[in-house]
Amino acid sequence: MNKRILAGVAAAVMTLGMCGCGNSGSSESSSTDGESSVADSTPDSSNVESITESADTSSQADEPKPETYEEYYEIMKQKSLCTLGNTAAMKKVIERAKNGEELTLSFIGGSITEGYTVNAAKCYAANTYIWFMKQYGTNGEKVHYVNAGLSGTPSILGSFRLERDVLVNDPDVLFIEFAVNDGTDINYLTAYEGIIRSAYAKNPDIAIVLLFARTEDGYTAQDGMKKIGEYYDLPMISYADGITYLMDNGQLTWKEFSKDGSHPNLHGHEMVTDMISYYFEQVEAAEEPSEYVFPEEPMYSEQYVNCHIMESDTLTPESLGSWEAGSNINTFDKGWTFKGSADKNEPIVFKAKGTDLYLLFKENSVGSGMGSVKVTCTDENGNSQDTLVNGETSGGWGDPTVASIATGDESLEYTVSIEMLEGTEDKEFQILGLGYKE
């Protein structure tokens, strides 16, 4: 298995002795140089979707009032399950696990999935893996675990990380969690759909589950994601809807769920695990479904389908120029760095082929000492495209991000020249890799 597989996680799932769908896109932690900040970059507040404003309360008046926390908690789990979707793929996975077959459960998302603020072995992803292994696996060594959560990253970067961090492990189950890191515009929705289509293209039998989080102030990108989930008839679990129900009924405070504005604490991760285990139980109880038919046409586009990353282990510069090999972001340490020079600004030059090219780079906050670069992509026909990429933004947290640097209708070979923008030669810039579509 790949280096990101943790097949032998030893932590036990802590099952809650107590029992205790509206709306909730982006504010998480970020991780760089081994340190994490309190919150990921937040999408434009004009796109914020508030759970409290959009929650469906039309049927609540007719519901009997629970008398105990345990009863509220059971309803929370029910409300978290937006839809089972087509259960064919997951039923097959469960049956294979019971038969003792090799299986891999994988998770991709931001810092919530990574387990920021809690021990990584006790995050919802690890808890879910252990619960599944104990519930269905006849031999723990046959059920494997891949956690590709990465702080500060949205689905746009996730569409490029998917192959390297998840699909290389041939997963049978994929949980996708980006609802508090994504914005709500079409670019994010297209990237989110791209992850689904890329995973299915790799394995048509994969069981995909969509998981939706929220922040303390009610931000989530789940409304648009739910529409995509409905289009693909996928199971959707909204812990945003679940905990909002408890909070609206005075059974939970945000501080009981989270240490900050975004990330579940240990108790919060256990609650999310309970919602996911409830989903598995409902899959088992469901009637045999019709055969799943994956939509041939995308809901939006295939802009972010089958994206790839080239790093220093697969891409050698034609010329290193004034740059040095190496970068310092967690899971992105095979890039190239310009460390600042008053008198040297020779470009780093690559050869790359694709229909579209992307620059993966480190984005930090204003005043952090990051400079800007001019990227010139010249195709094999002599046509050039210039792109200016700023290493500092108001929403930067030292995280990896993506910029489009070349687009075309056919796959062409490009010469990619990257140099520091005039006036920023004394600052740093980190290239984490080149992304491409074939």
The CATH number assigned to the domain holding 188 equals 3.40.50.1110
Report whether 156 contacts 191 (CB < 8 A): yes
**Same domain (yes/no): 157, 272:** yes
**Same domain (yes/no): 344, 257:** no
**Segment 113-168, tens digit of pLDDT:** 999 999 899 999 999 999 999 999 887 789 999 999 999 999 999 999 999 999 99
Q: CATH number of the domain at 335, please.
A: 2.60.120.260
- Report how far residue 276's alpha carbon sits from residue 280's, in angstroms, rounded to the nearest whole number: 7
Q: Is residue 16 part of a domain?
A: no
Tokens representing 264?
């579940």
Report whether 278 contacts 208 (CB < 8 A): no
**Same domain (yes/no): 95, 191:** yes
- Report how far residue 22's alpha carbon sits from residue 244's, in angstroms, rounded to the nearest whole number: 8
Q: Is residue 126 part of a domain?
A: yes
Residues in a beta bridge with 360:
402, 433
| pLDDT given for residue 63 in this prediction | 65
- Report how far residue 182's alpha carbon sits from residue 192's, in angstroms, rounded to the nearest whole number: 9
Q: How many C-beta atoms lie closer than 10 Å to residue 343's C-beta? A: 7
**What are the residues whose beta carbons fall under 8 Å from the beta carbon of 124, sequence distance 6 or more?**
112, 113, 264, 269, 270, 272, 273, 276
Q: Is residue 204 part of a domain?
A: yes
Q: How far apart are the first and last CA of the chain?
A: 26
Q: Is residue 294 part of a domain?
A: no
Alpha helices per DSSP H over 62-181: 69-80, 88-98, 111-114, 124-136, 155-161
Last residue of a domain, one of 285, 317, 344: 285
Q: How many helices (H) and strands (E) does the chain have?
A: 11, 17
**Same domain (yes/no): 202, 95:** yes
- Report how far residue 214's alpha carbon sits from residue 261's, in angstroms, rounded to the nearest whole number: 9
- Residue 90 φ/ψ, nearest 5 degrees: -70, -35
**Same domain (yes/no): 272, 380:** no
Last residue of a domain, one of 285, 319, 343: 285
| pLDDT given for residue 394 in this prediction | 84
The count of C-alpha atoms lying within 13 angstroms of the C-alpha of 154, restricted to the half-sphere facing its C-beta, is 31
**Same domain (yes/no): 270, 350:** no
**Same domain (yes/no): 391, 353:** yes
Q: Is residue 125 part of a domain?
A: yes
> Length of the chain, please?
438
| pLDDT given for residue 294 in this prediction | 97
- Residue 111 φ/ψ, nearest 5 degrees: -70, -20
Last residue of a domain, one of 236, 252, 285: 285
Q: How far is CA 206 from CA 89, 98, 103, 382, in A?
A: 6, 17, 11, 42
**Segment 25-71, tens digit of pLDDT:** 334 433 333 333 333 444 443 333 444 333 444 445 566 789 999 99
Buried b / exposed e across 305-337, counting CB within 10 Å, b at 16+? bbbbbbbbeebebeeebbbeeebebbebebbbb
Domain of residue 253, residue span? 31-285
**What are the residues whose beta carbons fall under 8 Å from the beta carbon of 427, sequence distance 6 or more?**
340, 369, 370, 371, 391, 420
Provide DSSP, 345-375.
Answer: -PPEEEEEEEEEEEEEEEEEETTSSB-EEEE
Report whether 84 contacts 282 (CB < 8 A): yes
**Same domain (yes/no): 375, 275:** no
Q: Is residue 5 part of a domain?
A: no
- Residue 284 φ/ψ, nearest 5 degrees: -60, -40
Our count of domains for the chain comes to 2
- Per-residue pLDDT tens, the chain, 438 aa: give them: 433 333 333 333 333 333 334 443 334 433 333 333 333 444 443 333 444 333 444 445 566 789 999 999 999 999 999 999 999 999 999 999 999 999 999 999 999 999 999 989 999 999 999 999 999 988 778 999 999 999 999 999 999 999 999 999 999 999 999 999 999 999 999 999 999 999 999 999 999 999 999 999 999 999 999 999 999 999 999 999 999 999 999 999 999 999 999 999 999 999 999 999 999 999 999 999 999 999 999 999 999 999 999 999 999 999 999 999 999 998 999 999 999 987 899 999 999 999 999 999 999 998 899 999 999 999 999 999 999 999 999 878 889 999 999 999 999 999 999 999 999 999 999 999 999 998
Buried b / exposed e across 36-66, counting CB within 10 Å, b at 16+? bbbbbbbbeeebbbebeeebeeeeeeeeeeb
**Same domain (yes/no): 276, 331:** no
**Same domain (yes/no): 73, 111:** yes
Q: What is the largest CA-CA distance in the chain?
A: 74
**Segment 14-23, tens digit of pLDDT:** 333 333 344 4
Determine whether 125 is exposed, middle or buried from the number of CB atoms within 10 Å of its CB (0-12, 13-18, 19+): buried
Q: Is residue 44 part of a domain?
A: yes
**Same domain (yes/no): 165, 248:** yes
Could you tell me the sign of the dihedral formed by the alpha carbons of 341, 405, 435, 263, in that order? positive
Chain-wide mean pLDDT for the chain? 88
- Report how far residue 83's alpha carbon sits from residue 360's, in angstroms, rounded to the nearest whole number: 35
- Residue 307 φ/ψ, nearest 5 degrees: -90, 150
**Same domain (yes/no): 277, 316:** no
Q: What does the angle CA 108 – CA 110 – CA 113 come to, to the nearest 5 degrees?
A: 65
Q: Is residue 4 part of a domain?
A: no
Please choose, from the candidates 295, 435, 303, the residue with its C-alpha nearest in 3D space to the C-alpha of residue 359.
435
